[in-house]
Structure 1
């Protein structure tokens, strides 16, 4: 058309998909981080990803068994992996695991691996320092402490004997369950003579006899009825107010009309 500018943009041509009625194919979703873990960051999931995941799990179990850093060669020997290609995939996967702490400078630059626990506590001194930093006294799960600290229970038992910890134990195994910080200075020591005298006092076997002795000594037993307690109070119903008569509007005829309000029932 002559009225259009010479440099005007041409109108878009219809696509083949719109003319044929076929739906366009959507692009494939990008590969996730977990799929890249199996093949060193490739776009597709490798065939040995399940095997790699299992070996990473065994490596984490190995790191849990020690509180020291471990070299990559130590993990390879423990897992009995001889395939160089699989070793490289494992070397890529281990530092990216959320329960593995990797230090690239460890073992003279070869890299070291260590289990990353939920609480960074690996000794009795670390445990006491952790509690001292708390603003609110909160307990710790002893099982969580043992994950990154294999000798946790022995150290907890030792600190419990010293009075540095308050420990709740499992009934069957008598193993630590939860631990809190304890202040030994708040523990009051009782004289042994007083304890012996306390245990020599025998309580009456009959509850009625015990109650009579307490009353004779001027003490109120806990089984005595409470004073001032009566039966349930019954709420009094409010009387309805008498209904008022309607507003008188014919005030201009007050002198003519008679008042018969006294004859209402």
Structure 2
């Protein structure tokens, strides 16, 4: 094959390949609106693809006979309603009426009652105790305190000195902060506060007898500035040696002083010697008084 024939064949193959590629390619449009719509459609497709990829998993339907998440929600709403009643008893019928259960959820009523009986933040009230002729429930806060007097009594019987967190008091007494501030001013509470907002954080029991009371208002008052200044200027000895020297100058004996042990001479008692020589023992000191009958 000559060189001319090979070149013509090569050109023919290139033209055929170009024709085949042209039918699968789309020429770009010169219309700006067309280009914007194309880019918008592409971004919408990408957005939909992203939403599909990161969409939450569909909720599974609980099988028949199992309430699942729905029952937990109903119990949560019931406990929340009891908490809003501020530890006042609510009959079980009123509680179920508040939940407004649909017809298909009426089967959950025994399960709700059972869950409330076992709940740690709920107390059961029998018919005799409720005074309403029906059984009921009431909310059980972290601490059974709803006023200032109850708080003082409750702190007095605490077995430890750890104090009580105010956030736990708010569980059953939401507006306890004003009462805490008043009890602190009266000297009945020791309060630890947050540095950021000065809100009370922890409370301990206190007594007005430990404070200096104002003669007029009978309220605890601050110590005089003069006393605080004298107290601040009074410095303790820096070391044990200085403390010992101060005590000795005051005529006191330091507990760290080595005590001298006095030795006492113990006299030994002489042992009584007993004459064990053979012979008859007589009462020699009674010779002039008693008669001798040894010969008879």
**TM-score scaled by structure 1?**
0.51
Q: Which of 118, 121, 126 is equivalent to 1:99?
A: 121
Write the mapping of 1:99-138 to structure 2, written as runs, cut at 5 A.
99-105=121-127, 106-138=130-162
CA RMSD for the aligned pairs?
3.6
2:75 maps to which residue?
56
Q: In structure 2, how many angstroms separate the alpha carbons of the residues matched to 1:178 and 1:87?
A: 40
Q: In structure 1, how many angstroms separate the alpha carbons of the residues matched to 2:109 and 2:69?
A: 15
Name whichever structure is richer in helix by fraction: 2
Are the aligned partners of 1:67 and 1:122 in contact in 2 as well (CA < 8 Å)? Answer: no
Q: Deviations over 1:121-175 (max 9, x none)?
A: 2322222111222354330111111112223333322322322111112233433
Q: In structure 1, how many angstroms separate the alpha carbons of the residues matched to 2:123 and 2:77?
A: 15
1:195 maps to which residue?
225
Q: Which of 195, 205, 220 is equivalent to 1:171?
A: 195
Write the mapping of 1:225-264 to structure 2, written as runs, cut at 5 A.
none
Q: Which of 55, 69, 73 is equivalent to 2:89?
A: 69
Alpha-carbon deviation of 1:99?
1.2
Alpha-carbon deviation of 1:179?
0.5
> Could you list the runs of 5+ residues in structure 1 that have no partner in the other structure?
1-43, 202-213, 228-265
Q: Of the two, which has the highest radius of gyration? A: 2
Are the aligned partners of 2:87 and 2:140 in contact in 1 as well (CA < 8 Å)? Answer: no
Residues 79 and 173 of structure 1: is their aligned pair in 2 closer, same or farther, counting only changes over 3 Å? farther
Are the aligned partners of 2:189 and 2:203 in contact in 1 as well (CA < 8 Å)? Answer: yes
Mapped pair 1:139 → 2:153 = no
2:247 maps to which residue?
none
1:234 maps to which residue?
none
Are the aligned partners of 2:188 and 2:208 in contact in 1 as well (CA < 8 Å)? Answer: yes
Residues 156 and 80 of structure 1: is their aligned pair in 2 closer, same or farther, counting only changes over 3 Å? farther
Q: In structure 1, how many angstroms separate the alpha carbons of the residues matched to 2:203 and 2:170?
A: 12
Are the aligned partners of 2:77 and 2:99 in contact in 1 as well (CA < 8 Å)? Answer: yes
Q: In structure 2, how many angstroms separate the alpha carbons of the residues matched to 1:193 and 1:96?
A: 53
Q: In structure 1, how many angstroms separate the alpha carbons of the residues matched to 2:123 and 2:222?
A: 52
Q: In structure 2, how many angstroms separate the alpha carbons of the residues matched to 1:220 and 1:94?
A: 61
2:204 maps to which residue?
180
Task: Write out the 4+ residue segments of structure 1 that deviate beyond 4 Å after TM superposition.
Answer: 189-194, 196-199, 219-222
SS at match of 2:137: strand
> Could you list the runs of 5+ residues in structure 2 that have no partner in the other structure?
1-62, 215-220, 243-296
Count residues in correspondence: 166
Are the aligned partners of 1:67 and 1:150 in contact in 2 as well (CA < 8 Å)? Answer: no
Alpha-carbon deviation of 1:109?
3.1
